[in-house]
Amino acid sequence: MDLISFMDLGKEEIERYLEDARKMEEQLKEGKVKKHDGIVATLFFEPSTRTKLSFQSASHRLGLDVIDFSAERSSIKKGESFEDTIRMIDNYADVLVIRHPEEGSAELAAKYAESPVINAGDGSNQHPSQTLLDLYAIKKMKGKIEGLEVHLVGDLKYARVMRPLMYGLAMFGAKVKLASPTGLGMPKEAIEEAKEKYGAEIEETTKIDFSTADVAYVCRVQEERFANKSEAEEAKKGYTIKPGYLEAAKEGMILLHPLPKRDEIPPEVAASPQARYLEQARCGVPVRMAIIKKILEGRK
């Protein structure tokens, strides 16, 4: 019952997650959430605000206890191995939620742990709960996914949210337009796989133009993934979302962002009615409630 990669999920399973999240949101509004027994451990080896707190909030709202692990205040500082850390915390919890800067770390944790593992981000690789959140937010705000034109803008090479989101959008019949700085494009093999597997309509460009977009999904340049910081600064040039881009957008377009945002979204754009990423972030609690609930029930 691990959740390591979005690509491990089939369309029917994703649809069940989205429907369960909708039910969770209704239950939260009505104060009728069914309580569960258990302990969730959150193991974050790199900084996080929304993912960590929304997983903790989701756990509490399900009636679960939470134990929080901090690498900076743990025996890792004394030289304890990743394997031993996972095996020890596995003794104390029923579900492990892990974020780590190295690709493959969540899969490795699942190998060591007997309890289910949820990947909350492993380097620039995967962040499956974020992809489910994004699909849920788009469907909630636009009423559907199929037939929409969704623009993915920014660092498509290192941002772990972009590749699985492209797959998810392709799976559900959206048209995808990729706009990125030179050298930070979506890997070619990922684009070809999405086309072959889902018959996806995918276009690549280096120009931002929202005139045909139903959804613009922007991410920051992932400076922490660059060995040379000056290269990151150079890549950011030209990928600030200017007010004029929104003025030229079709009516009803929404602007999303996985957050944290930097200067790619200036204050005047953040104040626009198209900017819906705070509402998008609020979807994290019901979506992650649905994930934890499914995993706990799968253990029985």
Catalytic center residues: 50-51, 78, 99, 127
Q: Round to whole Å and give the CA distance between 295 and 238.
A: 42
What tokens appear for 202 in the block?
Answer: 């995918």
Query: DSSP secondary-structure letter at 34?
Result: P
What is the per-residue DSSP string for 157-172? TT-TTHHHHHHHHHHT
Query: DSSP secondary-structure letter at 126?
Result: B
What is the per-residue DSSP string for 174-213? -EEEEE--TT-PPPHHHHHHHHHHH---EEEESS---TT-
Q: Which residues of 95-115 are buried (b: 16+ CB within 10 A; e: fewer)?
A: bbbbbbeeeebbbbbbebbeb
> Which amino acid is it at 82?
F
Q: Round to whole Å and give the CA distance between 92 and 138.
A: 36
Scan for tokens 């979807």, then name that residue: 283
Q: Round to whole Å and give the CA distance between 160 and 175.
A: 20
CA 283 to chain centre: 11
